[in-house]
Amino acid sequence: MKVTIDGQEIEVEAGTTILQAARMIGGESVPPAMCYYSKLKGSGGKCRCCLVEVAKGSDADPRPMPKLMASCVTGCMDGMEINSKNSDRVREARESVTEFLLINHPLDCPVCDQAGECDLQNLSFEHGKSKTRFIEEKRTFEPEDIGPNIQLHMNRCILCQRCVQVADQLTDNRVHGVMDRGDHANISTCISKAIDNEFSGNMIDVCPVGALTDKTFRFKSRVWFNKPYNAHRECTTPGCCGKTTVWMFGNEIQRVTGRKDEYHEVEEFICNSCRFDHKEVSDWVIEGPREFEKDSVINQNNYTQKLETVNINTEEGILKGRLEDRKKISMNEIDYDEKIDGEKLNSDK
């Protein structure tokens, strides 16, 4: 099947969604996605960030679709033409979804553990406005303890329901889900239970914002001060791949996560034992530094790029400057015959 996104044509297999096709093309046409997660069945369709304009339905039925479509759950049709970044309607819709997501969001990035890895930060950077039109009081939730491993900060949650899908698909004895409705809807346990099963930690990886964070890592470090390495170990937990990223500060492993692709989606899920219990370097076979896309905040501290050495010659520079300053201040060596452009006063020129 042939589809065209922002004028770029690509061949895809039947069953490919518009979002997947856009990801194959890459670049600026890739719609933002907050609730879709390639590794979770039935994800997507909820956040409405990825809306695109279908300017031509297909070769068989070329009519444009009247509404914007959620690209993550809309299948490609042969001959489909899609506008993503090229459409004003789409841009406006993404701006409004961003605005909606931010009205009740606490925006506590300076103290949030997700800062630097947060999809909402990226979304706001791309589509947010600097001014808010929301003057009402933000809605807040009472803190809830959901157990020893994971910190829930409900005020930051955007109800993408990825964590619920993790619980549905990866864990047994699911105890958490969405309670209530509308903007009071919240992620919680039923009722006041601890989330305790071998794969629950994956909820942290799939959470696009800082609503679910790792209790063993909270407040230890900003992520961009950590150096991520791919690592693995022989894990005996059934279903765990044992392949992780370990986040080092000096020689200390501060955090262990699943390995993620460029859309921040894990390659395979890992068990809690790998994630929470193995923090010694000797627990792991370190494969090498993990690479991130160019503009990731994590690259701030990147050591995988080749760096040019810059010679500053501090001492020399200071001394030189001082000499010139001295000259100016003392006025001793000022040549009064010299004009401001360096010409002699009585030159013939």
Partner 1 sequence: MSKKILLEKINVPGIKTYEVYRREGGYASVEKAIKAMTPDEVVEEVKKSGLRGRGGAGFPAGMKWSFIDKKSGKPRHLVCNADESEPGTFKDRYLMEFLPHLLIEGMITSSFALGANLSYIYIRGEYMWVFKILERAIAEAKAAGWLGKNILGSGYDLELHVHCGAGAYICGEETALIESLEGKRGNPRIKPPFPAVSGLWANPTVVNNVETIASVPWIVNNSGDDYAKIGIGRSTGTKLISASGHVKNPGVYEIELGLTVDEFMNSDEYLGGMYSDRPLKALIPGGSSVPILPADLIYKTTNGEDRLMTYESLSDGGFATGSMLGSGGFIVYDDTACIVRNTWNFSRFYHHESCGQCTPCREGTGWLEKVLWRIENGQGREEDIELLWSIQSKIEGNTICPLGDAASWPVAAAIRHFREEFEYHIRFPEKIKNRNHFVAEPFSQVKHLVTKQTI
Q: How many residues sit close enough to partner 1 to count as binding (CB under 8 A)?
A: 34
Neighbours of 84 (CB within 10 A): 24
Comparison of 36 and 284: residue with beta carbon closer to ligand FES: 36
Q: What residues from 53 to 82 belong to the interface with partner 1 (CB under 8 A)?
A: 67-68, 70, 73
CA angle 282, 287, 291 (to 5 degrees): 125
Examine residue 159 and tell whether it contacts ligand SF4 (CB under 6 A): yes
Q: Strand (E) positions, the chain?
A: 2-5, 8-11, 51-56, 69-70, 80-83, 150-152, 176-179, 186-189, 212-214, 227-232, 243-249, 252-258, 285-289
Alpha helices of the chain — where are they, by DSSP H? 18-25, 88-103, 119-127, 162-170, 202-206, 272, 314-330
Comparison of 105 and 127: residue with beta carbon closer to ligand SF4: 105
**Beta bridge pairs of residue 256:** 246
Smallest gap from residue 1 Cβ to partner 1 (A): 17
Of 15, 60, 110, 136, the one binding partner 1 by CB under 8 A? 136
Examine residue 104 and tell whether it contacts partner 1 (CB under 8 A): yes
Distance CA 304, CA 328 (A): 46
Examine residue 134 and tell whether it contacts partner 1 (CB under 8 A): yes
**Beta bridge pairs of residue 286:** 231
Q: What residues from 163 to 182 belong to the interface with ligand SF4 (CB under 6 A)?
A: 163
Comparison of 33 and 163: residue with beta carbon closer to ligand FES: 33
Please tell me the number of Cα atoms within 13 Å of 13 on its side-chain side.
2
Site track for ligand FES across 25-44, x = CB under 6 A: --------xxxx-------x
| From partner 1, ligand SF4, ligand FES, none, interface partner of 196 (C-beta below 5 to 8 A by class) | none
Closest-CA residue to 266 (of 208, 220, 313, 205)? 205
Q: How many residues sit close enough to ligand SF4 to count as binding (CB under 6 A)?
A: 14
The residue type found at 83 is: N
Examine residue 212 and tell whether it contacts ligand SF4 (CB under 6 A): yes
- Binding interface with partner 1 (CB under 8 A): 44-49, 51, 67-68, 70, 73, 93, 96-97, 99-101, 103-104, 133-134, 136, 139, 158-159, 161, 177-178, 180-185
- Binding interface with ligand FES (CB under 6 A): 33-36, 44-50, 70, 72
- Binding interface with ligand SF4 (CB under 6 A): 157-163, 187, 206-209, 211-212
